[in-house]
Amino acid sequence: MVVDTPRRILDAAADEFAERGLAGARVDRIAERAGANKQRIYAYFDSKDRLFDRVVEDQIEQLLDAVPFDAVDLPGYAVRLWQFNLAHPSLVRLLLWHALERPGEQLTHAASSHARKVAALRAVRGDDDWPAERLLGQVLGLVHGITLAPGPDPEQTRADLHRAVSRLVG
Amino acid sequence: MVVDTPRRILDAAADEFAERGLAGARVDRIAERAGANKQRIYAYFDSKDRLFDRVVEDQIEQLLDAVPFDAVDLPGYAVRLWQFNLAHPSLVRLLLWHALERPGEQLTHAASSHARKVAALRAVRGDDDWPAERLLGQVLGLVHGITLAPGPDPEQTRADLHRAVSRLVG
DNA sequence: AGGCGACAACCAACTGGTTAGTTGGTGACC
DNA sequence: GGTCACCAACTAACCAGTTGGTTGTCGCCT
């Protein structure tokens, strides 16, 4: 076995949940995709619900590792985050499903990472001119919005996003 | 009967679908919420799926009617759109569900309305300086992003959004 | 007026397929 | 002997969609 079973289950579940959401996903399908047995799922993860939570945590961690924050170069960070979203559409879908199906629940990893971003931004720019919290919110909002409504030409979109964030930071 | 049955069903279904999505919604629950009978749902709308489509169309229309586009005052339009989203969170959820559960399907009303917006914008600003299509995409992206990640102070957010769009337009 | 058919609506029970989660039994490997 | 894994069948519940039977209200014709 090249990869261990829990890992294979997590990855397969990530695909299934990203495609169909929590309510639409089927445990049997996850087992099949993982090339694993259904009982293994219930042995490692207690229930469909818990599996979903674990998958979301797992994926969020992968995103945070892949796109390090850069308080000095906000336009560059925004572009890299957008590019990551573009390269991993299923991760975006998964997080949207999570936001809809688990309303009011926020992810521990994401929250602490956000706090660290705000602190880093404040250290670089200070807070008097334009509060870091709100500036970051606008930048992330722009990235998320652009991600949801992709234009036809990625290179063009990249340049547009860079320009837009530069204007916000300006 | 104050309101006719199809209307009551549409409204009840809008609530149910906004909360739970297509896969998570229950037809019996919609009937109960509507104070109507289950068979009436199947008499007026053929199936759960078709009911979902009708609900989305219906709600989209309400949004387009409520927030008229203003090519001359983009920051004002952005703020009004955001305020509508803020006042109608269930509509936002419904459209997100639709985007996730009906991937690749675009709404006729929304598409034609978008085309009209682009045309209006081009008529006011011209296209040489900064293509209307892309500018509109950025403005809408910002609004959607801010909608998804709401700040603590609405009045502050309103002012921030206005400033941000002004910068984009400038 | 009275009678008739068409429709809107209700209630309740049912069907048939689906699906989360379980169980029991088997083998392989350390 | 314990752990990891498989297979297959099972259960218990759930749920979209159906059916049959009932009531009330119209418009219309005679």
pLDDT tens per residue across span A146-167: 898 877 889 989 998 999 899 8
Find, in chain B, the residue whose alpha carbon is nearest to that of A103.
B19
The answer to the question of residue A47 being in a domain is yes
Q: Is the CB of B121 under 7 A from strand D?
A: no
The answer to whether residues B116 and B163 belong to one domain is: yes
How many CB pairs lie under 8 A apart between chains A and B?
93
The answer to the question of residue B4 being in a domain is yes
Residue A128 has pLDDT above 80, yes or no: no
Provide the pLDDT for residue B122: 93
The answer to the question of residue A62 being in a domain is no
Q: Do A142 and B142 touch (CB under 8 A)?
A: yes
The answer to the question of residue B60 being in a domain is no
Whether B53 and B127 have beta carbons less than 8 Å apart is answered as no
The answer to the question of residue B61 being in a domain is no
Q: Residue A90 is encoded by which pair of tokens?
A: 């299923």
Provide the pLDDT for residue A2: 66
Å: B40 CA to C2 C1': 32
Q: What is the mean pLDDT of residues A96-120?
A: 92
The 10s digit of each residue's pLDDT in A15-53 is: 999 999 999 999 999 999 999 999 999 999 999 999 999
- Tell me how many domains chain A contains: 2
Confidence grade of residue B155 (pLDDT, cut at 50, 70, 90): very high
Average the pLDDT over each of A84-93, A110-119, A133-142, B86-95 and give the range with the smallest value.
Answer: A133-142
Residue A129 has pLDDT above 80, yes or no: no
Q: Is the CB of B44 under 7 A from strand D?
A: no
Q: Which helix (H) or strand (E) holds B33?
A: helix B27-34
Residue B11 has pLDDT above 80, yes or no: yes
Q: Is the CB of A38 under 7 A from strand D?
A: yes
Gyration radius of chain A's alpha carbons: 18
Domain end among A15, A36, A56 = A56
The answer to whether residues A40 and A78 belong to one domain is: no
Q: Which of B138, B147, B167 to mutate to test the interface with A (most CBs of A within 10 A)?
A: B138
Give the domain CATH number at B133: 1.10.357.10
Provide the pLDDT for residue A159: 92
The answer to whether residues A115 and A36 belong to one domain is: no
The answer to whether residues B46 and B103 belong to one domain is: no
Residue B81 has pLDDT above 80, yes or no: yes
Distance from CA of A142 to the nearest CA of B (A): 4
The answer to the question of residue A140 being in a domain is yes
Residue B82 has pLDDT above 90, yes or no: yes
The answer to the question of residue A61 being in a domain is no
Domain end among B35, B55, B75 = B55
The answer to whether residues A39 and A74 belong to one domain is: no
D15 nearest neighbour residue (CA to C1') = B26
Nearest to A12 by CA among A32, A29, A34: A34
Strand D: positions under 7 A of a protein C-beta atom? 4-9, 15-20
The answer to whether residues B117 and B141 belong to one domain is: yes
Q: CB-CB: which of A100, A140, A142 is closest to B97?
A: A100
The answer to whether residues B30 and B94 belong to one domain is: no
Q: Identify residue A41 by its one-letter amino acid code.
A: I
Residues spanned by the domain of B133: 67-170
The answer to the question of residue A114 being in a domain is yes
Whether A17 and A92 have beta carbons less than 8 Å apart is answered as no
The answer to whether residues B14 and B83 belong to one domain is: no
Question: Which residues, 6 or more positions from A57, have their beta carbon under 8 angstroms from its beta carbon?
Answer: A107, A108, A109
The answer to whether residues A75 and A156 belong to one domain is: yes
Give the domain CATH number at B31: 1.10.10.60
Confidence grade of residue B2 (pLDDT, cut at 50, 70, 90): low
Confidence grade of residue A105 (pLDDT, cut at 50, 70, 90): confident
Nucleotide closest to B42 measured between CA and C1':
D17
| Rounded percentage of chain B residues whose pLDDT exceeds 90 | 72
